[in-house]
Amino acid sequence: MELKRVVVTGLGAVTPLGNTVPDLWDSVVNGRSGASPITLFDASKLKVQFACEVKNFDPLQFIDRKEARKMDRFAQLSMVAADEAIADAAIDGGKVDLDRVGVVFGVGTGGLKSFEEEVIDYAAIRDTIGPRFNPFLIPKFVPDMAPGLISIKYGFRGPNFATAAACASSNHAIAEAFNQIRLHKADIMVVGGAEAAVTACGIGGFCAMHALSTRNDTPETASRPYSKSRDGFVLGEGSSVLVLEEYEHAVARGAKIYAEVAGCGLSADAFHMTAPDPEGRGAALVMRHALADAEMQVEDIDYINLHGTSTQLGDVAEMRAVKEVFGEWAYKMNLSATKSMTGHLLGGAGALEAVISVLALKNDIVPPTINFAEDDQDPEVDYNLNFTFNTAQKRPLRAVLSNTFGFGGHNAAVIFRKI
């Protein structure tokens, strides 16, 4: 069977750096940080009191009040990002076979806030009134509700499911959507990622693991990948969506094409629940798989959007993997860690970084890794590599690779190619 080509025909985003794709891209190119003190709940008693929240987001501007009450925040964010991507791709009401349009989302924690609130309410009444739960608790909590609600709104009857692979979830979703199209099972896939874990449970849980930066006084500088003083990631929230489409189908209907999805790779570290393999063996393997799937050589990649979370172990392990896979070419590419601006969206990270990678490719601009200072160099980091520190760089781009790695040792990489 001949594999179909897959292209990107729509983008959508609701993020800590802007609630539309143009606003996101403007912030990314200009190196803005999305980190600020937490407003979604009272974090005053927690060790970490800041995050990368989505700002100025009112779901009632986009979703009927009655329907919004049935959705957790992660699903609300997903619906709005999907609306932008679907409109961008002009498939809403277009001449497409809705039986062959699917939706797949990568989600790490699902409706964490809804679950947290319900447990607190239950604990308060269980000894007096007895168990009493919101009838929408389960629909609000389960991660697959985001793609489900999108398909219901638009009548998309193609493949519909969610992927859960911690922080690699939405790159897994992209890989699954990519394969649905190239294996002739769908014409269009709306694919994305979402997370809304900026809650007492989310912040408190990661605090207990010592995974988060504790720079409460200067949150905007807290995410500093590849700096010696990095002390953990900054938790983020949001949703990003791409419309993937079979190439000939897109051309036939005159769709705008951003880029081609060239290939995807998946692997496991098989090492530790939360720590990366220090030599980056799983990370190296996933990049090799992606290159092989795309039938590309290392010299074909001009930019890597690093997983780069600003943790001591993870940043160095990924750097070692890049050097192992790309050899001398690693010094001729650009690298950057956009989580320095967006924070870490967990299950939503891959989709957000995929949108950023596609925009980088389209505009021939490499986003920066912000918050680096020359006097903050880590002896474990090879600064002969071009990490695109602090300022975006204009450069002709032929192909971009985007990495995501998750707790449990899950690794996923996606390559986008100019078309």
Model confidence at 104: pLDDT above 90: yes
Give tens-digit pLDDT for 323-335.
999 999 999 999 9
Residue 93's pLDDT is what?
63
Residue 355's pLDDT is what?
98
Please give the mean pLDDT across all residues of the chain: 96
The Cα–Cα gap between 12 and 82 comes to 6
- Provide CB contacts within 8 A for 170, sequence distance 6+: 105, 106, 107, 163, 191, 192, 193, 194, 240, 347, 348, 349, 350, 351, 352, 354, 404
Q: Which two tokens stand for residue 369?
A: 């890794």
Of 158, 186, 296, 176, the C-alpha closest to 246 is 186
For strands 50-51 and 101-107, give the pairing: unpaired
DSSP 245-295: EEHHHHHHTT----EEEEEEEEEE--S-SSSPPTT-HHHHHHHHHHHHHHT
- Provide CB contacts within 8 A for 391, sequence distance 6+: 31, 368
Helix (H, G, I), strand (E, B) or coil at 94: coil
Interval 216-221 mean pLDDT: 98
The Cα–Cα gap between 404 and 267 comes to 11
Residue 14 sits at φ, ψ, to 5 deg, of -130, 110
Of 283, 290, 279, 278, the C-alpha closest to 268 is 283
Model confidence at 122: pLDDT above 90: no
Give tens-digit pLDDT for 266-323.
999 999 999 999 999 999 999 999 999 999 999 999 999 999 999 999 999 999 999 9
Q: 260 near 244, Cβ under 8 Å?
A: no
Return the biggest CA–CA distance within the chain: 68
| Residue in the block written with tokens 């897994």 | 172
Give tens-digit pLDDT for 166-208.
999 999 999 999 999 999 999 999 999 999 999 999 999 999 9
The Cα–Cα gap between 310 and 381 comes to 12
Q: What region, left, alpha or beta, does residue 313 occupy, with left being phi > 0 and alpha being psi -120 to 50 degrees?
A: alpha
Determine the residue type at 312: Q
- Using CB atoms within 10 A of its CB, is residue 42 exposed (0-12), middle (13-18) or buried (19+)? exposed
Model confidence at 400: pLDDT above 90: yes
Active site residues: 167, 307, 344
- Provide CB contacts within 8 A for 87, sequence distance 6+: 10
For strands 36-37 and 50-51, give the pairing: antiparallel
Residue 130's pLDDT is what?
67
Interval 388-403 mean pLDDT: 98
Q: What is the pTM of this model?
A: 0.96
Determine the residue type at 140: K
Give tens-digit pLDDT for 49-100.
999 999 999 999 999 999 999 999 999 999 999 999 999 999 976 679 999 9
Model confidence at 240: pLDDT above 90: yes
Q: Which two tokens stand for residue 273?
A: 């629940």
Residue 128's pLDDT is what?
76
Of 303, 294, 298, the C-alpha closest to 329 is 298
Beta strands across the sheet bearing 188-195: 160-163, 101-107, 188-195, 238-246, 6-14, 259-268, 410-417, 399-406, 303-305, 334-336
